[in-house]
Structures are given as C-alpha cells and as structure tokens.
A and B are shown apart, each in its own frame.
Chain A
C-alpha cells in the first residue's frame, strides 16, 4: 500500500539547534516527494520537492530510496520556522498522499 509516515506529531527544538523532521514512504515505483508547510494563519504551501534538489529557507531534504525516507533538515532552526510540516508522495496519476504532519515548535 502507498503510505507516508511522519512519526513525530510534535517536535520542539531551541533556536539555533539542528532540526530533522522525519518522513518515510511506502511505494514500489519511482516516487516524487514533497514537503509542504503551513505557517500560523497562512495557507498550506510547497516548501520543496526532491526533484529540484534545492534549499529553501535553509531547509534541505534528500531522497533515500534504500531507506525509503525523505527527511527534512535544517542546521540552525529559527523561531519563524515554527509551523506544521507535511510530507507528501506523488505516485503518478492524480493523487498525492500526505502524511499526518509534524508540528515544529522552535523555542527562543
């Protein structure tokens, strides 16, 4: 079955500390993976996708097909990074499968 798992519902770190939001997926084909972010009182928006291999707002994510993971990382968390983060898997066709989300809280 196609699935996206985000094991942490809540992640709390101090400002300046490294942060890693975990995402594992289950899919037998060639996946396309995304991270979406929702800041307080804002709409859900794309943060980054594995195909572009870019860094957005200091965040990076590497697709590890062997471990079927797409963890989101940032070396130094900022307070403005506090938000809800969703990992998403596009398997072709019309559907995108979203994980349950991880709420990141960056403490001053």
Chain B
C-alpha cells in the first residue's frame, strides 16, 4: 500500500517568511509532484521531479522552488510567503500513470 506523507496538516505563516513543505513516499517512486488545490480551479501543478536532483516547472511555479536530494523526499519551498499563496498543497508520487496523494497541507499566510 503506497504511503505518501506530508510534514504538516495545517501551517500558519506570516508574509515574507520562508516556508518548507515536506513530502515523503515509501514506494520507491521516481516521479513526485506538488500541486495546489483551490476551489473552482482544481489541482494546478507547481513543480515535479522525475529523479533525484531533477526537477521541472509545472504550470504555476512562480514564487516556489523545490528540492529532491533523496528519492523518497520532495520538498516545496516558498522563498518569501505571500497571502496569495494561502492554499491547500498536495504532494503526489506516481506509479505508471496513477498518482498517489498525500493528505495535504493547508497553508495560511497572514
């Protein structure tokens, strides 16, 4: 059973803070993804990684960066958090074409 875990369920940060969201998967998947989930907009891809140290921008990468130092861990970084980054963040890993999602981190930026 694939397990994708995210470091926090809820996070409250202040504008300008640097924010780290961590994601770990235990099934040795090569591909990992970060999405944000907003009402009426669905899931939008921020970044993805297809191997250790390899990353590609998704559809909305502005204001974000990522890190993949180990195969099982994929981190999303908000360099300077802004209020428009308040959202639900979902991490996923992929086997074949099926995605396995983490529980999500609800980030509020004040």
Contact = CB atoms under 8 A, between A and B. Distances in A.
A32 B97 contact: yes
Interface stretch (A14-22, A67-75, A94-102): A94-102
Contact of A45 (B35, B42, B58, B101): B101
Contacts of B101: 43-45
A95 B43 CA distance: 12
Interface string A35-77: 0100000011110010000000000000000000000000000
B89 interface: no
Contact of A101 (B42, B100, B103): B42
Interface residues of B, number: 22
Main secondary structure of the interface of B (DSSP, over half): strand
A51 to B, nearest CB: 9
A94 B102 contact: no
A78 B38 CA distance: 26
Interface string B25-39: 000000100010000
Contacts of B48: 94-95
Contacts of B97: 32, 34, 49, 90, 96
Contacts of A49: 97-98
Interface residues of A, number: 20
A46 B95 CA distance: 12
Contacts of B44: 98
A92 B35 CA distance: 18
A100 B41 contact: yes
Contacts of B102: 43
Contacts of B40: 9, 100
B99 interface: yes
Given A86-B42, A86-B43, A96 B99 contact: yes
B66 interface: no
A12 to B, nearest CB: 17
